[in-house]
Chains A and B, each alone.
Chain A
């Protein structure tokens, strides 16, 4: 009994503790950027300085809240491990919030680079992928941001917020991307960010000491991929159409022109879409059904909102406008990029699995000459806290 107890107790010091890490031994990486120079990967990792971020007494913004380590290697894993030569703490990537790719690398293909990130047990798969538009990932990470103390957190939060409030933005996590890349019926996309006014000062806290920081990061456009290679950028309107088609609009604001001239802004309260596909006489026949609930947000024209006929008129105009946006987005996919990043292929796969077997080999080509039926239904449900514009009442 006693021996058994003793042996049991011995397991504590002998077998335990081997993967113990104290929190202050961790280099908590929030952002990672991957570029390629010649045949080597350049990995930049942004590690948070906890003392600077969790502000305690005396720690004012004099010191940068993050530190960036950079290293090169033939594989990403080697490059990351090599960072310990510069960093006192081992890079801990479980809390990675964003992973950036330089546009140049993205055009060459990012599939290989993603292998480590989905293979390693330490990483979670809920961080966002981003493409640094017209820049290297390193440059994009080299910008300090206001409000959110760490740049990766800023990127993470602004993607999340603006995805919910502004239609042209979409968030893509590692899981989403990998799912898209392995499915034959949808090509992946990744959101882009742009450096506004690229300048060296962005990397210093001086950038934050002005009311309007000179260098900033902005969500900008959606990168279109064929397999794992970037092939182009959607415009803002195409991005908007893309999100409507893929049922990714939570709330946004759009405008239509009034019957008598002037503009009227509509806020989307609720939007749902469904895509489908079938074959009609050897030609793919795709359908998009969108139902949107909107409310009148801003009126800059003379119009009588108290009349039901006015509302109906507005609904019709909004439907036309949205149909145009969606058609434009699909056109871009079919003609400009020649890539089905909407997932129509998957819709056919789900609806008609047998048919899909024949289509999947050359789906991208078949998609180009598919017929698309766009069906938009809009309901205006509210007009805000006033009915007619007070400019109208005045007269």
Chain B
């Protein structure tokens, strides 16, 4: 862990000097624990010191695997006589013959030692040695593996990532048990030194995309990476767009599936969200469950999701356009009943829609931020405000409530949160266009949106692939999800190296 390129003062030979230097480096932080002891390990009694940060290390293990062996050594003096002369050899001797800790490495720079300390290692200084041993005793508190909070499924694994990157990589490795899964780690963030891992499957992932990912990651020059969102914004292709070109997920199975398609995962320490690139528009409408349920059900649900997307983005706009510009499009009875609801409503339809949509967005934002305890109060007030009262007071027409509700609900059939936010914002743009130009505006807007989406790229892959550009082979996993035996090829836009997933399934009848 950590690179050894850091320049700086070397460690001294005197233990006390080293302790003083270390304390100074950490600014006399109070969670720095110094345990001084005398050990006969190596034959002669020598002063030693253990340094570690309270809370990042496991004290029991330190006691069992470091302190105990050190204090009990000395009874066996065989071959230890010459260790006194060469301090460097003494450290090797301790490492090889005395300490029972797992990961032990030697450091000789103060800065490296300090880094190691901060990462949860124990540093051992030995009198007379201008170097130290660092022993991994990392054990900080972290959340257990839980069910995914946001991307839940009915059928399928119920594990989600945690904030611990090692746990996360292990979750993925447990799904794809193959040495070809490559993990490359680096630290990003000059101050936070956040561990960021790139994972891919060698032989499936596209090399140029991989190089692009590494290049973009290496170009990040910032103080702090606190969450995957930081990385996403640094590496995404286009900043000025509503639509996400990097996918994030909290599900190891989604990452595993992506890796097997030839995509690349980026895991970030300290967040349960992993990034996946390249990400395409259609993938934001796919749920992990699509692949676990029967193909026919999944296909229907997927079509339903596209329908939901359409409703969420366009229905308020269509309502505004039709009721204020194109009343002739409505059946007569419907027009009369809508007009009856609007009797006495003081606002134009657009303002009415804007008020209700804004109210809903406020309620929703409040619902996420508010303390759990007041949740009920907010929802009651919300129901009354958004529902009954506004209609009964004659400020809002009942049909508008229906429109806003169906829109709000439809928004949640989009499985990826990033996409549903994008659709929400798009809806307001369309509402504005509809209010000014009616259907004409909506269609101009749709054309513009389509052009915009087609112009986007995600790590070199056209965002609207495989629809535009059209790849017939890949349609098996767009609007419908073909049964697994039929999906013989990986998506062609990700894996150019190794397109064959399986040979055509042959099943003899009667077996």
Residues on A close to B: CB < 8 A?
11-13, 15-17, 19-24, 26, 28, 30, 48, 50-51, 53-54, 56, 92, 94-95, 97, 122, 124, 153
Q: Are the CB atoms of B436 and A23 closer together than 8 Å?
A: no
The 5 closest A-B pairs by CB, nearest first: A16-B436, A54-B340, A94-B328, A50-B340, A54-B337
B residues in contact with A50, CB < 8 Å: 336-337, 339-340, 342-343
For the complex, what is the distance from the CA of A23 to the CA of B325, rounded to whole Å? 9
Report the Cα distance A286→B432, complex, angstroms: 62
Q: Which of the segments B344-352, B407-415, B472-480 contacts the partner chain?
A: B344-352
Q: A28–B338 Cα gap in the complex (Å)? A: 12
Q: Which of A17, A28, A95 contacts B436 (CB 8 A)?
A: A17
* B44 contacts A by Cβ under 8 Å: no
Q: Does B324 contact A (CB under 8 A)?
A: yes
- Name the interface residues of B440-486: CB closer than 8 Å to any CB of A: 441
**B327 CB contacts on chain A under 8 angstroms:** 21, 23, 26, 92, 94-95
The reply to whether A26 and B332 contact each other, CB–CB distance below 8 Å, is no
A16 adjacent to B345 (CB under 8 Å): no
Q: How many residues of B contact A (CB 8 A)?
A: 26
Task: Verify B337–A24 contact, CB threshold 8 A.
Answer: no
Bound-state Cα–Cα, A54 to B324, Å: 19
Once the chains bind, are B324 and A95 in contact (CB under 8 Å)?
no
The yes or no answer to B435 lying at the interface (CB within 8 A) is yes
B328 A56 Cβ-Cβ under 8 A: no
- Assess the B340–A53 pair: CB atoms within 8 A: yes
Supposing A16-B435, A17-B435, A22-B348 touch, asked if A95 and B332 sit within 8 A by C-beta, the answer is: yes
On chain B, the residues within 8 Å of A56 by CB distance are 340
Instruction: Indicate whether B246 reaches chain A with its CB closer than 8 angstroms.
Output: no
Known A-B contacts A22-B348, A24-B345; the reply to A124 vs B339 at CB < 8 A is no
B441: chain A residues at CB < 8 Å are 16
CB distance from B352 to the nearest CB of A (A): 9
8 A Cβ contacts from B313-359 to A:
323-325, 327-328, 332, 335-345, 348-349
B436 touches A12 (CB 8 A): yes
User: How far apart are A157's CB and chain B's nearest CB, in angstroms?
Assistant: 11
A20–B348 touching, CB < 8 Å: yes
Interface membership of B437, Cβ < 8 A: yes
Task: From A22, A51, A95, give the contact of B340 (CB < 8 A).
Answer: A51
Q: Is the CB of A23 within 8 A of B339?
A: yes
| A26 to B325 CA separation, bound complex (whole angstroms) | 11
Asked if B433 is at the interface of the complex by the 8 Å CB criterion, the answer is yes
CA gap between A54 and B348 in the complex, in Å:
20
Given contacts A24-B345, A54-B340, 13 further A-B contacts (CB under 8 A): A12-B437, A13-B436, A21-B325, A22-B323, A23-B339, A24-B342, A26-B339, A28-B336, A50-B340, A51-B343, A54-B337, A54-B339, A153-B332
Residue of B whose beta carbon sits closest to that of A123: B328
CB pairs A–B below 8 angstroms (27 shown): A11-B436, A12-B432, A12-B436, A16-B435, A16-B437, A17-B436, A19-B325, A20-B348, A21-B324, A21-B327, A22-B324, A22-B342, A23-B324, A24-B343, A24-B344, A24-B345, A26-B339, A50-B342, A50-B343, A51-B340, A53-B336, A53-B337, A54-B340, A56-B340, A95-B328, A97-B332, A153-B332
Closest to A55 in B: B340
CA distance A7 to B50 in the complex (A): 69
Residues of A within 8 A of B436 (CB): 11-13, 15-17
Q: Taking A50-B336, A54-B337 as contacts, is the C-beta distance between A124 and B328 under 8 angstroms?
A: yes
A-B pairs with beta carbons under 8 A, tally: 77
Contact (Cβ within 8 A) A23 B342: yes
User: Are the CB atoms of B336 and A12 closer together than 8 Å?
Assistant: no
Q: Which residue of B lies closest to A9 (CB)?
A: B432
Contacts of A24 in B (CB 8 A): 339, 342-345
Inter-chain contacts of A97 with B (CB < 8 A): 332
A122-B348 contact, Cβ under 8 Å, with A24-B339, A28-B339, A50-B336: no
Q: Hey, which chain A residues are within 8 Å of B438, CB to CB?
A: 20
A30 to B331, CA, bound (A): 12
Q: Which of B324, B332, B437 has the most CB of A within 10 A?
A: B332
The one of B332, B335, B432, B433 in contact with A23, judged by C-beta atoms closer than 8 angstroms, is B335
Complex: how many Å from CA A11 to CA B348?
A: 20
Query: B437 contacts which chain A residues (CB < 8 A)?
Result: 12, 15-16
Bound-state CA distance A19–B324 (Å) is 9
Chain B residue with minimal CB distance to A59? Answer: B340
A85 to chain B, nearest CB (A): 22
Give the CA-CA distance A151 to B207 in the complex, in Å: 74
CB A8 to nearest CB in B, in angstroms, measures 10
Contacting pair B323 A23 (CB below 8 A): yes
Most chain B beta-carbon contacts within 10 A, residue among A56, A95, A124: A95
**B332: which A residues are within 8 A, CB to CB?**
28, 30, 95, 97, 153
Question: B312 to nearest A CB, angstroms?
Answer: 22
Please report which residues of chain B, range 57-96, place their CB below 8 angstroms from some CB of chain A when the two chains form the complex.
Answer: none
B343 contact set on A, CB distance < 8 A: 24, 50-51
Contacts of A13 in B (CB 8 A): 436
Complex: A24 Cα to B349 Cα, angstroms? 10
A333 and B327 alpha carbons, distance in the complex (Å): 42
List of B residues within 8 angstroms of A51 by Cβ: 340, 343
Separation of A217 and B475 alpha carbons in the complex (Å): 59
Note all chain B residues with C-beta closer than 8 A to A92.
327
Q: A20-B325, A20-B348, A22-B324 are in contact. Are A28 and B435 (CB under 8 A)?
A: no
Contacts of B435 in A (CB 8 A): 16-17, 20
CB of A95 within 8 A of CB of B325, answer no
Q: What are the residues of chain A within 8 A of B341 when measuring CB–CB?
A: 54
Enumerate chain A residues within 8 angstroms of B345, measured Cβ to Cβ: 24
Please state if A28 and B335 are interface contacts (CB–CB under 8 Å): yes
Nearest chain A CB to B355 CB, angstrom units: 15
In the complex, the chain B residue whose C-beta lies closest to that of A14 is: B436
Q: Which residues of A contact B342 (CB under 8 A)?
A: 22-24, 50
Complex interface: chain B residues within 8 A of A19 (CB): 325
| A12 CB contacts on chain B under 8 angstroms | 432-433, 436-437
Chain A residues positioned under 8 Å from B344 (CB to CB): 24
Hey, which chain B residues are within 8 Å of A21, CB to CB? Answer: 324-325, 327
B334 closest partner in A (C-beta): A54
Q: State how many angstroms separate the Cβ of A236 from the closest Cβ of chain B.
A: 30
Q: Which residue of chain B has its CB nearest to the CB of A94?
A: B328
What chain A residues lie within 8 Å of B335 (beta carbons)? 23, 28, 95
A23 to B321, CA, bound (A): 11
Flag if B336 contacts A54 (CB, 8 Å): yes
Q: Which residues of B contact A54 (CB under 8 A)?
A: 336-337, 339-341
Give Cα A51–Cα B339 distance, bound, in whole angstroms: 8
| Chain A minimum-CB-distance residue to B342 | A24
Most buried by A among B336, B341, B342, B435: B336
- Given the interface pairs A12-B436, A13-B436, A97-B332, the reply to whether A20 lies near B340 with Cβ below 8 Å is no
Chain A contacts for B340, CB-based, 8 A: 50-51, 53-54, 56
Q: Report how far A30 CA is from B349 CA in the complex, Å.
A: 23
- Given known contacts A12-B433, A12-B436, A13-B436, A20 and B324 CB-to-CB distance under 8 angstroms: yes
Contact of A122 among B323, B328, B339, B433 (CB under 8 A): B328
Closest chain A residue, CB of each to CB of B448: A8
CA gap between A99 and B99 in the complex, in Å: 103
Question: A372: shortest Cβ distance to chain B, in Å?
Answer: 42
Which residues from B are CB-within-8-Å of A15? 436-437
Question: In chain B, what residue has the closest Cβ to A57?
Answer: B392
Smallest CB–CB gap between B484 and chain A, Å?
47
- CB contacts (< 8 Å) of A48 on chain B: these are 336
Bound Cα distance from A29 to B438, whole angstroms: 22
Please, which residue of chain B has its CB at the minimum distance from the CB of A97?
B332
A20: chain B residues within 8 A (beta carbon): 324-325, 348, 435, 438
Nearest Cβ on chain A to B205's Cβ, whole angstroms: 36
Q: Which residue of A lies closest to B337 (CB)?
A: A54
- Nearest A residue to B392 via CB reads A57
Residue of A whose beta carbon sits closest to that of B322: A23
Cα-based distance from A48 to B328 in the complex (angstroms) = 15
Query: Smallest distance from the beta carbon of A389 to chain B beta carbons, Å?
Result: 43
